[in-house]
């Protein structure tokens, strides 16, 4: 299953991203897993909106696979060196700096890729083992 949206110029791109992710993951129920994915997508879009070149494009893609979920947010180029590979834990008094810390804590893996004048941040979520002990979570319709 594949879903994508161009968020460029929207008044509330994070709201649109959350809606897209929830709609793309209908039928996935894994102890709050969808909420984690929605939060990460929200953070990635918020970062793109805040740090990307002014009025540059912002796009989101959600893909469901048998093994899990991939969320990608693409925006205009920002130097890759501006994105830490391991986010520092923010101080208690800090009002900023929690976004990538949350991404790092909630996603199974994440990374940044520069392609031409675009930056792509990808977050991967590998299916968690359900609490009922079944070896494999239920597999809703998805891309192979």
Residue 79 — very low, low, confident or very high, per pLDDT cuts 50/70/90? low
Q: How far apart are CA 83 and CA 44, in angstroms?
A: 12
2-126 has CATH 3.30.565.10 classification:
yes
pLDDT tens for each residue of 7-66: 998 989 999 999 999 999 998 866 678 999 999 999 999 988 887 766 679 999 999 999
Domain boundary assignment for the chain = 2-126
Q: How far apart are CA 29 and CA 36, in angstroms?
A: 12
pLDDT at 93 over 70: no
Angle ∠(13,108,2) on CA atoms, nearest 5 = 50
Q: How far apart are CA 131 and CA 122, in angstroms?
A: 27
pLDDT at 137 over 80: no
pLDDT at 92: 61
Nearest to 108 by CA among 3, 37, 30: 37
Classified as helix, coil or strand, 95 is coil
More confidently predicted of 83 and 143: 83
pLDDT tens for each residue of 104-124: 899 999 998 888 878 899 999
Q: Give the tokens for residue 41.
A: 């997508």
pLDDT at 144 over 50: no
């Amino acid at each position: 299953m594949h879903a994508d949206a161009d968020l460029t110029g929207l008044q509330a791109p994070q709201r649109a991203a959350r809606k897209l992710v929830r709609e793309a993951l209908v039928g996935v129920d894994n102890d709050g897993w969808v909420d984690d994915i929605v939060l990460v997508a929200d953070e990635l879009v918020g970062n793109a909106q805040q740090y990307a070149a002014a009025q540059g494009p912002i796009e989101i893609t959600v893909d469901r696979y048998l093994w899990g979920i991939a969320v990608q947010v693409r925006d205009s180029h920002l130097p890759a060196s501006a994105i830490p590979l391991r986010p520092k834990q923010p101080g208690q008094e800090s009002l900023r700096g929690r976004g990538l810390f949350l991404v790092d804590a909630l996603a199974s893996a994440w990374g940044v890729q520069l392609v031409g004048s675009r930056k792509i941040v990808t977050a991967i979520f590998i299916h968690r083992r359900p609490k009922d002990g079944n070896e494999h979570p239920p597999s809703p319709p998805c891309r192979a």
